Structure 1
């Protein structure tokens, strides 16, 4: 088991190793395995890259993000410009139905709304806009259309976990109520946790995934 000091050093090293992150501008604090990232980053993408880098480190139990985005002069754009660019990008995203996603921009923050059939389409909309200059955050409020029966969804998710998971990842328990999926049980790494949540989101009509899994190293 790593000490907080060891974990802090490992997270700082991982941030330094990640080329998309300016690690010198990010502070790292650790308390009982909970990592807090603070400081300034120059874009929304860099903020996400820093979060992912910290999550890759073994021993991180939870992550608190207090980083602020300070756009460079090059990265600053008007809300109207961002909205127009976002509309064009969504129109060229082949996985999205035409005009399925609406965009609202306020102070660089994008709010996405509309209806799609699959979660991957919902995710594709947000992913396609994360690198857009001037974006300071994204609120993904796109809804997934009603799911099939809970029994079908549960069976699909459990089958996906059996195909993909290692033996010790089979301790994940799946519960379905309408379009909401709750995952509980035990996983042993962020990768296993991501595998379980991605498997849950991969079923048609899933609107929400509640992660109640315990991360045990």
Structure 2
């Protein structure tokens, strides 16, 4: 296990190694494995890269971010311009439903709201806007929405299991709790167990899957 001193040294080295971060502007403190990053950076993107760099270091138990984004004069934009740019880039995303994600900007801080069907769409929307000039922070409040009723969801999962794991489908039980799915029963291999889990995850509306299937 790394000591706090070694962990601090490793985080500093990782920040120095990342070309997208000006490590000289960021201070690093470590207490009981919890890393605190403090300082000032010139863009939200640089702050985001600093966070990712620290998370890459083995032994980091937690991360506290006290980095301020101090935009240089050439990068400052008013909230209307930032909101317009964010809306435009979201409209151009081919795999994001049109008008499902809303944008709000206050003092450069961009908040995304709305709902989408898949988690990858939620993450892609955030990644698309955090590089925009003038942004000082991003809050992703997009939620996942179920696209089918829970009764239809159970039918879809059971049908997929019968289609893709025909021999073992009768041994698998599907329970629905809101948007959570619990799988139980028995199969004859790990691949079939994984298949059942993937079938559940690939059904629109599912937010969590608990796989209690046993291999016999």
Q: Secondary structure at the match of 1:74?
A: helix
Alignment of 1:160-171 (within 5 A): none
TM-score, normalization by structure 2: 0.70
- Judging changes above 3 Å, is the alpha-carbon distance between structure 1 residues 27 and 208 closer, same or farther for their aligned structure 2 residues? farther
The alpha-carbon deviation at position 41 of structure 1 amounts to 1.1
Alignment of 1:67-146 (within 5 A): 67-146=67-146
Aligned mates of 1:138, 1:201 — CA distance in 2: 27
Match of 2:53 in 1: 53
Give ranges in structure 2 of 5+ residues lacking alignment.
Answer: 158-175, 182-199, 210-216
Choose 1 or 2 for highest CA Rg.
2
Cα RMSD (Å): 2.7
The alpha-carbon deviation at position 146 of structure 1 amounts to 2.1
Aligned mates of 1:6, 1:37 — CA distance in 2: 16
- Judging changes above 3 Å, is the alpha-carbon distance between structure 1 residues 113 and 8 closer, same or farther for their aligned structure 2 residues? same
Q: Does the 8 Å contact 1:119/1:202 carry over to 2? A: no
Q: Does 1:8 align with 2:8?
A: yes
Aligned mates of 1:129, 1:177 — CA distance in 2: 34
Match of 1:41 in 2: 41
Aligned mates of 2:24, 2:206 — CA distance in 1: 40
- Judging changes above 3 Å, is the alpha-carbon distance between structure 1 residues 107 and 31 closer, same or farther for their aligned structure 2 residues? same
The alpha-carbon deviation at position 66 of structure 1 amounts to 0.8
Match of 2:194 in 1: none
- Which structure has the higher relative contact order (CA within 8 Å, separation 6+)? 1
Give ranges in structure 1 of 5+ residues lacking alignment.
Answer: 156-175, 182-199, 210-217
Deviations 1:182-213 (CA, angstroms, capped at 9, x unpaired): xxxxxxxxxxxxxxxxxx9977435589xxxx
Match of 2:24 in 1: 24
- Judging changes above 3 Å, is the alpha-carbon distance between structure 1 residues 77 and 207 closer, same or farther for their aligned structure 2 residues? farther
TM-score, normalization by structure 1: 0.70
Q: Does the 8 Å contact 1:119/1:206 carry over to 2? A: no
The alpha-carbon deviation at position 84 of structure 1 amounts to 0.9
- Judging changes above 3 Å, is the alpha-carbon distance between structure 1 residues 105 and 202 closer, same or farther for their aligned structure 2 residues? farther
- Judging changes above 3 Å, is the alpha-carbon distance between structure 1 residues 14 and 203 closer, same or farther for their aligned structure 2 residues? farther
Q: Does the 8 Å contact 1:26/1:37 carry over to 2? A: yes
